[in-house]
Amino acid sequence: MEKLYSDCNLFQFGSIFTLPKVYETYKVQIDNYVSMACDQVCKVKAQVVAKLPFLKKKEKAQ
């Protein structure tokens, strides 16, 4: 268990320094894929809300 904990810390430490460089290098591609993922999540959320009416938010009367 201690070895796993040590490996996890090493991975997190390495990620702190490598992920910003990877994002800087591939920013356009990463942003495109994140945008596509967000669009898909919104579509699925809309389908779920449409099929489950109790999830719809009630509009406030003013």
At 12-24, the pLDDT tens digits run 777 777 888 888 9
Report the mean per-residue pLDDT for the chain.
Answer: 82
pLDDT (average), residues 33-44: 95
At 42-53, the pLDDT tens digits run 999 999 888 887
Q: Is residue 54 part of a domain?
A: no
Domain count, the chain: 1
Q: Is residue 42 part of a domain?
A: yes
Q: Is residue 60 part of a domain?
A: no
Q: Is residue 57 part of a domain?
A: no
Q: Is residue 14 part of a domain?
A: yes
Q: Is residue 44 part of a domain?
A: yes
- Locus of tokens 């997190």: 12
The reported pLDDT for the residue numbered 60 is 59
Backbone angles phi, psi at 56, to 5 degrees: -70, 140
- Residue 21 lies in domain: 2-49
- Locus of tokens 């910003």: 20
Q: Is residue 19 part of a domain?
A: yes
Task: Answer yes or no: pTM beyond 0.95.
Answer: no
Q: Is residue 58 part of a domain?
A: no
